[in-house]
Amino acid sequence: MDSLEVDNLSAWYSNYQALKRISFYVEKGEFFTFLGPSGSGKSTLLLCLAGFLPAQTGTVVLAGEDISFASPNKREIGMVFQSYTLFPHKSVFQNIAYPLQLRKQPKEEVTRRVSEILRMFHMEGYERRLPHQLSGGQQQRVALARALVFTPRLLLLDEPLGALDKKLREEMQFEIRRIQRTTQSTLLYVTHDQKEAMAMSDRIAILRDGTLQQMGTPRQIYENPSNAFVAGFYGESNLVDVRVAALNPQSCDVDLGGYVITGVPKPTWLRASGVP
């Protein structure tokens, strides 16, 4: 099972703590998104999972194997950055084949797997083109194909659509979700775009200042935000000024500027505060 379990993960840059004891679990085949503003620790988290940045505390278990101290090339994790990081001097075929060649796969197997994934990404006929001869969306497809061709146990995507225009961004959202469902890949996605996260994700985790604020399905977070930050960041329409007028065992009455609504389900944050 290519599940991911992260427990108490912390990371620092010099004296600044970028991640503060993050814990979460991702199921095999799940599309799991980390959502948060700039500086919340999203990209740092992916770098720690990929092994590019050492974590000071915590464990990372992938498919039942503790990879907390494994080198990046031993983790069998694919990663796609916003800038694509394609080799400019290599053709589409050579870019996609590179991970297989590193693993010393036979030439016939490399050709077969590259051809297969090109068909999946609707990129047949582009094998000999160089990256500068491709559109932004095509370059993104090549970067995704390269990350998937060696069948990684986990795929990490760090704001991969940030450089695309609105229309192409929406098209690529559909493509990424389609490919993820086709391959049944376990995918961890990072974005600061709330609509993107809601449209693509099975579950979402919201980060703020290196701390995990809430996890759940898009609907769960929207309908029952854990605090005012989550409500405001996930959708301004969630924020309404109210006053708790009365408390009942399982519900409360709220005052909306003089209009009282009775029998409102007691929110999670109010139950957690210890108020009877």
Instruction: Work out how many domains the chain is built from and give that number.
Output: 2
Q: What is the pLDDT of residue 188?
A: 96
Torsion angles phi and psi, residue 246, rounded to 5:
-160, 150
261: which residues sit within 8 A by CB, 6+ positions away?
Answer: 253, 254
Average pLDDT over residues 158-163: 83
Are 194 and 97 part of one and the same domain?
A: yes
State which residues form the domain around 248. 243-272
Classify residue 103: in a domain, yes or no: yes
Q: Which pLDDT score, from 0 to 100, does residue 43 have?
A: 93
Burial (CB count <10 Å: 0-12, 13-18, 19+), residue 54: exposed
Residue 42 shares a structural domain with residue 172: yes
Does the residue 126 lie in any domain?
yes
pLDDT > 60? residue 275: no
Residue 122 lies in a domain: yes
Tell me: do 136 and 262 sit in the same domain: no
Same domain, 174 and 253: no
* Same domain for 64 and 22: yes
For the segment 63-119, what is each residue's pLDDT rounded down to a tens digit? Answer: 999 999 999 989 999 999 878 789 999 999 999 999 999 999 999 999 999 999 999
Please classify residue 220 by burial: count the beta carbons closer than 10 Å to its beta carbon, then call 0-12 exposed, 13-18 middle and 19+ buried: middle
Output the pLDDT for position 272: 58
With a CB cutoff of 8 Å and minimum separation 6, the contacts of 111 are none
Average pLDDT taken over every residue of the chain: 90
> Average pLDDT, stretch 33-40?
94
Same domain assignment for residues 198 and 252: no
Quick one: average pLDDT of 243-266? 88
pLDDT of residue 44: 96
Tell me the CATH number at 78.
3.40.50.300
The pLDDT tens digits for 108-149 are 999 999 999 999 888 999 999 999 999 888 998 899 999 999
Amino acid at position 66, single letter: D
Residue 120 confidence (pLDDT): 87
In a domain, 238, yes or no: no
- pLDDT above 70 (res 177): yes
Is 29 found in the same domain as 8? yes
Whether 224 shows a pLDDT value over 80: the answer reads: yes
Q: Is the pLDDT of residue 238 over 60?
A: no
Average pLDDT over residues 214-229: 91
